[in-house]
Structure 1
Amino acid sequence: MKRRDVDCGPGCPVEATLDLIDGKWKGVILFHLQSGRLRFGELRRRMPGITQRMLTKQLRALEEDGLVLREVFAEVPPRVEYELSEMGESLRPVIDALKRWAEEHRARAGAIGVAAPPAEAHAGA
């Protein structure tokens, strides 16, 4: 069924939201930060498939978009922690809905070639 009451062409609110969390990693980073403040190394351990360079790039993009806050502590070696901003927190229902959908459709998603994450990778969420 085609919806005609809402224009979702360029500039559409759905498109704008998806632009903020696009790609393979941004949503996963936001998911992990829902549990609270994390250091770079902690995030990296929770996401073994991401390279250090890509994690850095994605965190910078999320920070630029106002979804993630970065705090650098003047220590040697420097300690950097990341957490969701107020705007990032407002995406919690969206990230939770994506997680629920994936859990409910895991068998079908696997059948069409979408890899289902190991259960322990997102345990505790």
Structure 2
Amino acid sequence: MASEHTGDVGHQTESHASWDPELVPGPCGRTRRPEPGCPVEVALAAVSGRWATLVLRELMGGPRGFTELRGLLPEVSAKVLSERLRALEERGLVAVERRRGFPVRTEYTLTGAGLALRPLLVQLYATGEALQRLTGALPAERDQSAH
């Protein structure tokens, strides 16, 4: 039984006769398990985390201050927003500029890498809509009586 597993060790980029060249255009995607260097995994990691896609969406409109982001995303707590912004900064997707004065003003801007996520976010939205139509899984209706 041990010999069954030895063939997979160290051979994460084995050739596969049926690789779809659109889905797997290069050797980095020809893996048998999720690998950190796989472009798909890199893209998914960039937008992972609760609220990350919404923070990125708001920053696509240009530089924003912390208070402005809180106003655009009123349901996210200040703590969670700070955590998301810090994580996006660590991923190299957001640049932070702290301006002198009282109070200190902080401005968040997407980097080139952050801006490169725009097509992914657009496609994720379109794909989500298509899945909702195809599966009949419509988004939960908000309480209309509050409006």
Instruction: Give TM-score, length-normalised by structure 1.
Output: 0.77
Matched, 1:33 2:59: yes
State the Cα distance separating 1:103 from its structure 2 match.
4.3
1:82 and 1:109 map into 2 onto residues whose CA distance is: 37
Q: Contact 1:109–1:116 at 8 Å: present in 2 too?
A: no
Give the match's secondary structure for 1:82. Answer: strand
Evaluate the alpha carbon distance shift between residue 23 and residue 76 of structure 1 in structure 2; reply closer, same or farther with a 3 A threshold.
Answer: same
Q: Secondary structure at the match of 2:98?
A: strand
Q: CA deviation at 1:50?
A: 0.8
Aligned to 1:123: none
Offset, 1:29: 0.7
Residue in structure 2 matched with residue 47 of structure 1 by the alignment: 73
Assess, with a 3 A threshold, how the Cα gap between structure 1 residues 116 and 81 changes in structure 2: closer, same or farther: farther
CA distance in 2, matches of 1:75, 1:7: 51
- Evaluate the alpha carbon distance shift between residue 76 and residue 14 of structure 1 in structure 2; reply closer, same or farther with a 3 A threshold: same
Distance 1:106 1:39, change over 3 A: farther
Q: Percent identity?
A: 36
Larger RCO, structures 1/2 (Cα 8 Å, 6+ apart): 1
Report the Cα offset of residue 116 of structure 1: 7.4
Q: What amino acid does structure 2 have at the position aligned with 1:9?
A: R
Give the match for residue 88 of structure 2: 62
Q: Deviations over 1:38-78 (max 9, x none)?
A: 01011111112211000000100100110001100001001
Q: 1:109 to 1:88 in 2, by over 3 A?
A: farther
Change (3 A) 1:115 1:20: farther
Number of residue-to-residue matches in the alignment = 114
- Deviation track 1:2-39 (CA, whole Å, cap 9, x = no partner) reads x9523362213212221121122111111110000101
